[in-house]
Amino acid sequence: MRKFRNRTTGLAAVTTAVLALSLTACGEGSSGVKSSGPAADSAASAPAPAQAEKNTETAKGAANGKNASTAQAAGAAKGSTGQAAANTPVCTTKNVAISAAYQGGPPYTHIVLTAKNTSGHSCKLTGYPEIEFLESHRENVPPVAKSKPATPVVLTAGAPAYALVKLSDGGRTENTEPVTAFSVTLQGGGGMTAVKAPGGGIAVDPAKWATGYWTPELRNGADDF
């Protein structure tokens, strides 16, 4: 009987040791002991919430700074254009050649005036061409406000400017009058010149005619009236 009790006591001791080791291993896994591997490395390298927020604010600040710089550059360019126009002399009929051409096909409701700088220096065209089609109608053809550019048109040597002119609505029952030549006066003291009508003559309706402002190109709202 003594020998059997010794064997039982030894087996109980071994069992107790195994249970102790198992409990120790479980305790380490559930107690948040630091582990290694890719997941742990990613977690360690991720920025803290405060740092992430700081990085976001820094990026926003850089973007706002870039937008401000772009706006300042645009404003500077606009200011430079206005300054150049202010320092440029007005074009006169002595240094620009004005001609007229049909715009589009029949019925011919519009013509385009072209003022080309024939001098060797820059000049500017202000406002709109003051056109007088008929001696019986001494008033000038009225301008279309929406075609007015933001600043006077500065023409370098050899450069052109344009003005669209409406003659009529193209209706057969309109009270039109024939015109073979007409006068154009440049505003700002530029003088007056005679211009030949395209095609040997045009038909104008005093109730419908209108002119656009001088522009470097027609596609700025000056060609839709």
Q: Which of 189, 216, 208 is nearest to 95 (CA)?
A: 189
Encode burial over 41-64: b for 16+ CB neighbours within 10 A, e otherwise. eeeeeeeeeeeeeeeeeeeeeeee
Say if residues 40 and 34 touch (Cβ distance below 8 Å): yes
The predicted model gives 181-201 an average pLDDT of: 96
Q: Cα dist. 87→83, 122, 195, 212 in Å?
A: 6, 10, 29, 24
**Count of alpha carbons within 13 angstroms of residue 191, beta-carbon side:** 11
Q: Using CA atoms, how far apart are residues 193 and 129, in angstroms rounded to an integer?
A: 11
The predicted model gives 114-141 an average pLDDT of: 94
pLDDT at res. 140 = 93
Does the pLDDT at position 218 exceed 80? Answer: yes
Residue that wins the pLDDT comparison between 156 and 31: 156
pLDDT at res. 224 = 81
Backbone angles phi, psi at 123, to 5 degrees: -150, 170
pLDDT at res. 60 = 54
pLDDT band at 66; cut points 50, 70, 90 = low
